[in-house]
Amino acid sequence: TELTTPMIHEFVDKIVVHEADKSTGDRIHQIDIYLKYVGKLDVPIRKLNISTYRFIIQHSTYAAKSTST
């Protein structure tokens, strides 16, 4: 089975998108997801350091170039 839009509407109470934080030079949004009968969903997110970010970008760009040839 797959997750459908009506199924998501049954579980999600609201989604709150906060104002963008640009204090670090990057545009970062905090997004809060509230589920019915559960409340705010807290998902731990690992922050990437700059070297990991560059590695991902470099390899993503390489993958895109290699599949287009």
Closest by CA to 12, choosing from 33, 30, 43, 32, is 33
pLDDT band for position 69 (50/70/90)? very low
pTM of structure: 0.52
3-class SS at 17?
Answer: strand
pLDDT band for position 48 (50/70/90)? low
* pLDDT > 70? residue 68: no
Q: What is the DSSP-derived secondary structure letter of residue 21?
A: B
29: phi then psi, degrees, rounded to nearest 5: -110, 135
Query: Is the distance from CB of 20 to CB of 27 less than 8 angstroms?
Result: yes
Render pLDDT for 49-61 as a digit per residue (tens, 0 to 9): 677 767 766 766 5
